Amino acid sequence: MKARNPRTGEEDYDFLESSREEIAVTAARLREMQGRWEDIGPAGRAVVLTRFADAIDAHAAEIAGALAVDTGRGTVSMIEVQGCAGNIRRWAQRGPELFDRLDVEAHPSAVPGVEIVTNYSAFPLFGAIAPWNFPVILSHIDAVPALMAGCAAMVKPSEVTPRFVEPMRAVLAEVPELPLAYVMGGPEVGQALIEEVDYVCFTGSTATGRKVAEAAARALIPANLELGGKDPMIITAGADPDWAAGVALRSSVVATGQACQSIERIYVAREIAEPFLKALVAAAERVELTYPDPQKGHLGPFIFPAQAEKVQAHIDDARNHGARVLTGGEVEVLGGGKYLRPTVLADVTPQMAVMREETFGPVIPVGVYDDIEDAIREANDTEYGLSAAVLAAALDEATAIGVRLDAGAISLQDGAMTSFVGDATNQSRGCSGLGPSRMGDTGMLRFLREQALIRQMGDPMPIDAYAERGGS
């Protein structure tokens, strides 16, 4: 298979797609390793995972270099690699503490003379299907807590951003006892992975998530789905418009808006709408593209060219239906890469695609409200429920609004905080996801199966007594 360089537009990388047979062999090898891995216990696994993080740090330059080509990003690539290593260390530290808290004591049953002990064991083989927007972080965000729980892990990174896997395999060679492997390719490889594993996590679009859910249902395995979003931000009349504009801009356009937690629609009180828009446009026009130097500027290219086309279609649809483009608005082709400067839209309406469908680009549509009840109603008028944000005059006011928003994580007096707060337990709503939270303690505990050991402490019931109680 070939991969495209998002800065040049050239397909300049070849990699081998994993065959169905190779995937089956990999799964069998991981299952054989898993028993020993679980047997070494939480403390033993923490030691190995820490070595894994150390090896990533030792190879960080190579991984970040490959990631930079995959994504077109500069310094953000090294930050992502460092963040991955930090997340591994966090689970290595937290995991043993969570195991110590598990209730393994005997408890009396409601049936006299019987007591119950709960035994915990890991799902043997975990599988992850990862997206292209943050390839290193999101290939490991579920796999690492699964490994800490005692699972073996098989990961399919996105075929759009495959380059980082080669240096990561060199890392794995330094930690041979770690039961982690990558399989490479497109949708067929993802389907084969689901058929081999005992638990699957998927991060990506809602459309593909439905297909993963259907495949997992056919395989009768649990599925965690972290899907699309159309995250709203409400800004109240008491918020400082200059401050709110800065928060809104950062929360909407960082990583070129190619992040699931990006703010995708804003509702601002009419009293401050004019100064807010003026400040937002001024701040947006100071943002620079990372072209030609990826180490300078703020916004890189679109990683996936089809995404640039979708974003432009949303802007054009809004313009054609009466929205004003206050700045930005046109995808530019520079050196073969596709870029978009921060785009601020005014006079948007709820029916526009840019207000209803996930855009996934640096576009900031701004609606104006007169009554906070209208803002809350419009913010909740969506099939998605990933996250949201509120900016107000005070935290108490923001909280009172935030608890009424139908989303899994609400940033108060800030935006898109789930991008850097990794321990806030939350569950996506609507078409934004399915299953337990990947954050907080649940991030690991979801990979443990409960087994009831039902202990008869007296004499077992004879058949005659069983018949008298209505047995057959």
How many whole angstroms separate alpha carbon 312 and alpha carbon 333? 13
How many whole angstroms separate alpha carbon 131 and alpha carbon 53? 21
Q: What pLDDT, in 10s, does the model give residues 381-407?
A: 999 999 999 999 999 999 999 999 999
Percentage above 90 pLDDT, the chain: 94
Q: Which two tokens stand for residue 28?
A: 């069998």
For position 454, what pLDDT does the model report? 96
Q: Is 21 a catalytic residue?
A: no
For position 356, what pLDDT does the model report? 97
For position 418, what pLDDT does the model report? 87
pTM score over 0.85: yes
For position 224, what pLDDT does the model report? 97
How many whole angstroms separate alpha carbon 121 and alpha carbon 293? 50
For position 419, what pLDDT does the model report? 79
From 226, 264, 357, 397, the catalytic residue: 226
Q: What confidence tier does 464 reach under pLDDT thresholds 50, 70, 90? A: confident
Q: What confidence tier does 423 reach under pLDDT thresholds 50, 70, 90? A: confident
pLDDT at 103 over 70: yes
Q: Is 80 a catalytic residue?
A: no
Alpha helices in 298-429, H assignment, sequence order:
305-320, 353-356, 372-380, 395-402
Between helix 75-101 and helix 41-58 the angle, nearest 10°, is 170
Q: How many other CB atoms are found less than 10 A from the CB of residue 460?
A: 9
pLDDT at 472 over 90: no
How many whole angstroms separate alpha carbon 192 and alpha carbon 189? 5
For position 471, what pLDDT does the model report? 57
How many whole angstroms separate alpha carbon 344 and alpha carbon 340? 11
For position 470, what pLDDT does the model report? 64
- Give the torsion through C-alpha atoms of 197, 86, 69, 416, to 10 deg: 90
Q: What pLDDT, in 10s, does the model give residues 19-69?
A: 999 999 999 999 999 999 999 999 999 999 999 999 999 999 999 999 999
For position 358, what pLDDT does the model report? 97
pLDDT at 469 over 80: no
- 3-class DSSP state for residue 94? helix
Q: What pLDDT, in 10s, does the model give residues 170-197?
A: 999 999 999 999 999 999 999 999 999 9
Residue 321 DSSP label: T
φ and ψ of 461, to 5 deg: -70, 125
CB 398 within 8 A of CB 373: no
Q: What pLDDT, in 10s, does the model give residues 340-350?
A: 999 999 999 99
pLDDT at 439 over 80: yes
Q: What pLDDT, in 10s, does the model give residues 124-171?
A: 999 999 999 999 999 999 999 999 999 999 999 999 999 999 999 999
φ and ψ of 238, to 5 deg: -85, -5
From 84, 201, 260, 431, the catalytic residue: 260
Q: Once rounded to an integer, what is the mean pLDDT over residues 327-334?
A: 98
How many whole angstroms separate alpha carbon 173 and alpha carbon 379? 48
pLDDT at 420 over 90: no
Q: Which two tokens stand for residue 173?
A: 């060679």
φ and ψ of 237, to 5 deg: -65, -25
For position 465, what pLDDT does the model report? 73
| C-alpha Rg value of the chain to the nearest Å | 25
Q: Once rounded to an integer, what is the mean pLDDT over residues 423-440?
A: 91
Residues near 218 by Cβ (< 8 Å), separated by ≥ 6?
none
Q: What pLDDT, in 10s, does the model give residues 199-221?
A: 999 999 999 999 999 999 999 99
Q: Once rounded to an integer, what is the mean pLDDT over residues 256-270?
A: 96
Q: How much is the mean pLDDT over the chain?
A: 96
pLDDT at 422 over 80: no
- 3-class DSSP state for residue 146? helix
Looking only at the bridges linking them, the beta strands covering 384-385 and 363-369 are: unpaired
